Amino acid sequence: MSEDLKWSNYDFTKIPFDNIVSVGQRTLLYRDLFTVSWLLGRFCNYRCSYCWPYARSDRKDHRPTELCLLTVDEIKRQARLNGFNSFHFSLSGGEPTFHPGYLDILKHLADDVENTNYTSIHMTSNCSRPMKWFEQYVDYAKPFHRASITASLHTEHVNTIERMEEFANKLILCQENDVQITINMVMVPEWFERDWENALYFHSRGINVTLKPQSDPTASRVVDGYTKEQLERLTDKEIISIPFWVNQENLFHIDKKINLRKKYGFKDDDYIIGSFQRDTEGSDLLSPKLIKGPDIFVDLVNRLNKTKNIKILLSGTRRQYVINNLEKHEIPYEYFEMVQIDQLNEFYNILDLYLVSSRLEGGPQAVLECAATKTPIISTDVGVASEILHPNSIYSLDNFEDAEPMVEHAYENSKKFMLPEGMNRFREMFREIYES
């Protein structure tokens, strides 16, 4: 039996009350209100590029409806024995509305409302189900003291005017039937302006919208790539820019590159292009992290491969998207997943070209590292690229063939980021924070 099947069929009616109270991060007791946060299954019909790997599944791993109804009854029975007769049920997923018994669970809860002091129901959903489904939902939601929906808008899927209107109309139907609505929008950096306009559209339709920055798969930090202006639109908190710096004692130019090439098995006439980063997301390790532009990188090296004896040198975790596409185009590569700083310095020094293909960046650090090692580099116009590189070294897809690395220009501009000046700028930032 698979782990998913064991999980979905586990009999939660057998959990003692004390364990029900303690299990789950968001299970709270306030007076006589018993709050249940319930993951009905991890299946989701969407494949959002920025989704956390563990947040969804392609497998319809829903718990059986009858077991869910029995679990509701058992939770309420034990809660009432312990003095609780008010309930809040928050149903989520995956995409919870694809649970085949979702409306049955809702009706089961609604049928008992008159026997409680207070009952509320909440749903987190991408609201992809048809209007007919929502007409049933609002009918079943009427008995509750409070019903609410957090509607997750994913513009990768709600990507036409017609779909936007359909999405809005379903939410307006719910609002007109006393269901409280909030739209949550993940503001992916590279789609920021488009999503900002979409948020204004829903606001004009009378629907509350909450804008959220994209976080990494651990939910511990905001992803790179936001401009200061974008972050200022997302928050009224003070934004502090952390200055970059590079230690030239660790990253420096090496003259005898022939010996280094032989060390790593490259030939003298190989044209070596480097890319040292992470650019794949998702549990399948195949979804590109579009902000890093791995699709652009593959396209450009494929174009260069027609005129040069290309070899690609890759480093960093989660490079599967690039690797798979290099193999598809039969472009030779060497991949080193994890390297120490001394090896990274050698990698920079054997390159004929470092290629930055990012759509948005806070750095990238590679621009400074290439400048310090006098590595030829061309880059899209992101982050500090325009501050370090010559204008001729910054390319668009239209003028890529005309871009040329201006090594000495980059090296001279990078000096202010090197020790000790770069570190002094770093210390100054902390001094300003402390004094303020």
Identify the pLDDT of residue 26.
Answer: 35
The helix (H) or strand (E) run that includes residue 368 is helix 365-373
Res 6: pLDDT? 42
The pair of structure tokens assigned to 110 is 């609604």
pLDDT of residue 4: 41
The backbone torsions φ and ψ at residue 275, rounded to the nearest 5 degrees and listed phi first, read -155, 115
pTM, 2 dp: 0.57
SS (H, E, C) the chain: CCHHHHHHHCCHHHCCHHHHHHCCCCCCEECCEEEEEEECCCECCCCCCCCCCCCCECCCCCCCHHHHHHHHHHHHHHHHHCCCCEEEEEEECCCHHHCCCHHHHHHHHHCCHHHCCEEEEEEEECCCCCHHHHHHHHHHHCCCCEEEEEEEECCCCCCCHHHHHHHHHHHHHHHHCCEEEEEEEEECHHHHHHHHHHHHHHHHCCCEEEEEECECCCCCCECCCCCHHHHHHHCCCCCCCCCCCECCCCCCCCCCHHHHHHHCCCCCCCEEEEEECCCEECCCCCEECHHHCHHHHHHHHHHHCCCCCEEEEEECCCCHHHHHHHHHCCCCEEEECCCCHHHHHHHHHHCCEEEECCCCCCCCHHHHHHHHHCCCEEECCCCCHHHHCCHHHECCCCCHHHCCCCHHHHHHHHHHHECCHHHHHHHHHHHHHHHC
pLDDT score, position 429:
75
* Per-residue model confidence (pLDDT) at position 29: 43
Cis link prior to 364 (omega < 30° from 0)? yes
CATH number corresponding to 3-234: 3.20.20
Domain boundaries, the chain: 3-234, 257-421
Say how far apart CA 232 and CA 257 lie, in whole Å: 45
Q: 363, 385 in Cβ contact below 8 A?
A: no
- Has domain 257-421 been given CATH number 1.20.120.80? no
| pLDDT at residue number 121 | 95
CB 206 within 8 A of CB 172: yes
Block means of pLDDT (10 residues each) for the chain, length 436 residues?
Answer: 42 59 41 84 86 74 86 89 89 92 96 94 96 97 95 92 95 96 90 91 92 72 77 77 81 89 92 92 71 92 92 93 94 93 95 92 88 96 90 92 95 88 77 76
> What pLDDT does residue 241 have?
66
**Residue 222: its pLDDT value, please?**
74
